[in-house]
Amino acid sequence: MIPKDPVMLLSFANMKLRDFYSSLDAMCEDLQLDRKDLENKLGAIDYAYDEKLNRFI
């Protein structure tokens, strides 16, 4: 279960990316998440995925 609160979702996503996944696509596939939906939710609080850093900044 992923957090619904955008700030908690940010923390969750970055922790998972840091500790378990080499890319956002890999995380979304494994956790059965819609990448666009995740990016839109975090975009609403002004965060975007950075492929080079493999995290939302």
Query: What contacts 43, CB < 8 A, 6 or more positions away?
Result: none
Chain-centroid distance of CA 17 in Å reads: 7
pTM to 2 decimal places: 0.94
pLDDT at 1: 83
Cβ–Cβ < 8 Å for 49, 21 = no
Q: Where are the domains of the chain?
A: 4-48
At 13 the pLDDT is: 98
Backbone angles phi, psi at 41, to 5 degrees: -65, -45
Bridge partners of residue 55, in order along the sequence? 50
Q: What is the pLDDT along the chain (57 residues), one digit of tens a residue?
A: 899 999 999 999 999 999 999 999 999 999 999 999 999 999 999 999 999 999 999
> Alpha-carbon distance 45 to 51, whole Å?
18
